[in-house]
A and B are shown apart, each in its own frame.
Chain A
Amino acid sequence: MINALRAELIKMRSMPGVWVSFGLAFPLTVLIVLAVLASAGGFPGHTFSFVTSVRERRELLGAGYFGIEVLAPVIGVLCVTSEYRHKTMTTSLVLVPVRSRVLLAKVITVAIWAVLLAALSLVAVFLVALPWNAALGGVTSQVTDQIGAVVPGLMASAVLLGLFGLGFGTLVKNQVAAILLTIGGTLVLEGILEVLARAIFHYDLNWLPNAAGAALAGDIARGLGGGGGGNGQSTGLRLLTWWQGGLVMLGWGLVPLTIGYFTTFRRDVT
């Protein structure tokens, strides 16, 4: 198992798409930092200000969530669909013939890279957001005091969103289609469905991936960092509790992964 994992880690490391995702995580986080500090100043004054409320502090610390929400599923998708796109699955399964072992190695690999993605977003916060907030007059320790409330949710969201992408990629082998469906589905289609569900059926459609991820991430996803349609603020959606969100996200990762394993992944490689 360790050998299979070491092989998967080097595969991920040598995939340009993964590094592009990491390259985007930093500027996306900075963009959200900018938005949080601008909104703290109060629109429409357009004056940047240091964060004051607990919620604003958490939003600032979790500014990387938007990037994670988009990029962690992409990393998951890339991990498995690149095997089909470049026909490397043949080599992978010759080197590690037990398919469940290959898939498990991919799950762990995606989890590791998702955590690294979340860590990178935190680095961006520490390098940009905290000094900027301090320069505006804020107290850094008041923000860092929220680490315990923010970081676990951020990390867990990253891992589960990555697994969601991996599961989806196992089901939909076409790389471009899988990425478009994953991102488009969670950020666009999900928002539309939520609005329609509320308007027509007066129903809170809060168990789709983006909304469940937002519930798990907690306060950090409800403000400007939430993105998409699934954050509670933009649609007035009543989110699940954080643990319910976590369980639902786990389902969104494991169910497609399991279906994909028993259908696509175990098929003949011709």
Chain B
Amino acid sequence: MTVGTTPRGLPIEIQGLSKHFGPVRAVDDLSFTVEPGRVTGFLGPNGSGKTTTLRMLLGLVHPSAGTATIAGRNYKDLENPTATVGAVLEATSFHPARRARTHLRMAARAGGQLDKRADEVLGLVGLTGDAKRKIGGFSMGMRQRLELATALIGDPDVLILDEPSNGLDPQGIAWLRDFMRYLAGEGRTVLVSSHLLSEMAQTIDDAVIVSFGQLKAQGTLEEITAGITNTVMRARTPEADRLAGVLTQAGIAFRRLGHDEVAMDGVTPEQVGPMLASNQIILYELAQEGGDLESVFLSLTSGLGFGDVAEHP
């Protein structure tokens, strides 16, 4: 697989970035950096300001304060934007009557590339056979691949991907993971936002975790997971309501994950096991979790996202 010429590694720098939509602070004094040659996960629950941050980086949204630069320059001030940055923002951003090759030729011409580059990137994302098909007939996964092909049209040094695995099937997700790793391995800067932590944990080198528009953590995956010592006990039981009552009485913090699932924070199996036995609560499953990206994320973002419904004491 050959993407193009030798890429340069360019850093992304976010400094004191804020965006207010009326009274809503979508992004609030956010600062972090993204290094070249690594895949950096930009993680946060839905509505945490990830997309707004990426759009400010690309000049689509005007910041209320702060700066978002690539190699020290605003995106619109780059000499050749498409050869510097490729972005995947939303998989619906296509004219449905346009053919895949025509769409990519349009992108190639906008970036001063030759038309043949369209066929090259179609090959890179595995869409050569669909070059003449109208995009309106594409599946979500194909649109994501086409979006990625559009991002790669200028053979960019920096890739910015907003939830790129949305709509991809398991094979597609595995392909995307390998592709991102390959691009970073070439020395490119890869910043990928996602709320699918299990996928990200297998892909990223570094993580930036945000919640309510604010930075919660930044570092390598190892640094971030090592900093969290809290473990979570997850219990699956047909008596979830009774278990909730017992935990409340014992003063143990817990979260309901579903109708038959409860997550208990900061406890060990030695503490929980006897308590469940003495209260004769039927268990289908009792598992200790913690120290992984998802646990860190839940801890840092107050457990929001991923279908959690409530927090107790």
Which residues of A does B touch, CB under 8 Å?
Answer: 3-4, 6-7, 10-11, 14-16, 82, 86-88, 90-98, 268-270
Contacts and interface: CB of A to CB of B under 8 A. Distances in A.
A80 to B, nearest CB: 13
25 contacts: A3-B109, A3-B111, A7-B110, A10-B109, A11-B95, A11-B106, A14-B103, A14-B106, A15-B97, A82-B95, A86-B94, A88-B94, A90-B93, A94-B60, A95-B81, A95-B110, A95-B111, A97-B58, A97-B75, A268-B55, A268-B61, A269-B55, A269-B61, A270-B52, A270-B60
B161 to A, nearest CB: 12
B96 interface: yes
Interface string B62-83: 1000000000000110100110
Given A3-B110, A10-B105, A11-B106, A270 B93 contact: no
Contacts of A10: 102, 105-106, 109
Nearest to A266: B62
A75 to B, nearest CB: 15
A92 B87 CA distance: 12
Interface of B: 52, 55, 58-62, 75-76, 78, 81-82, 87, 89-90, 92-99, 102-103, 105-107, 109-112, 150
Given A14-B99, A94-B81, A95-B82, 12 more contacts: A7-B107, A10-B109, A14-B106, A15-B97, A86-B94, A90-B89, A91-B94, A94-B60, A94-B87, A97-B81, A268-B61, A270-B52
A7 B153 CA distance: 13
A94 B95 contact: no
A57 to B, nearest CB: 41
Contacts of A270: 52, 55, 60-61
A95 B107 contact: yes
Contacts of B62: 268
A91 B107 contact: yes
A93 B60 contact: yes
Contacts of B98: 14
B27 to A, nearest CB: 12
Nearest to A13: B102
A91 B150 contact: yes
Nearest to B106: A10
A3 B95 contact: no
